Amino acid sequence: MNTTEHHQFSPDLSRLFAAAVVSPDFCQRLLDNAAEALKSGYNGTTFSLFPGEEALVLAAKASTLADFAQQVISGQPVQPERTRPYRSLETFGTAYSGRGIPAIAAFRAP
C-alpha cells in the first residue's frame, strides 16, 4: 500500500513561483511581504490560490525562494523560535476550559 501523500496544487501556485523565478523584484516582494505580493500580483496578473495554499504562502518565512517554496510545498511553514511572541490562554478562546488542563496565565512558546 502506498502511504505517500499527494497534494493537488492550483495552477496559479506554479505561476506564482514562476513569477518569482523570472523577476528578482517580485521574488523579493514575495519574501518580504507575501500578502502585498499576492495583492499586487505580477505584471498585471493576480494569483487565484486555493485557500490552503494562500494560508501557506502567507505563513512561510524564508530568505530564499528555495526555502520559501519548500515550506509551501511541504505544508510546513517554519518560523524562527526567537521571534515567537508571548501568548496567553485567552488567545485560544475557551477551548481549554473544563478539560482538566491546569490554568496557566501565560506561557512563552518554546
Q: Is residue 47 part of a domain?
A: yes
3-state secondary structure of 108: strand
Q: Is residue 97 part of a domain?
A: no
Taking each continuous run of H as one helix and of E as one strand, the counts in the chain are 5, 2
**Could you say which DSSP state residue 65 is in?**
H
Q: Is residue 103 part of a domain?
A: no
Q: Is residue 34 part of a domain?
A: yes
Instruction: Domain count for the chain, please give it.
Output: 1
pTM over 0.75: no
Which residues lie closer than 8 Å to 29 by C-beta, 6 or more apart?
Answer: 36, 37, 40
pLDDT single digits (tens) 27-57: 999 999 999 999 999 999 999 999 999 999 9
Tell me which residue range forms the domain holding 62. Answer: 11-74
CB 33 within 8 A of CB 68: no
Q: Where are the beta strands (DSSP E) in 3-93?
A: 86-88
Mean pLDDT of 89-100: 42
Q: Is residue 80 part of a domain?
A: no
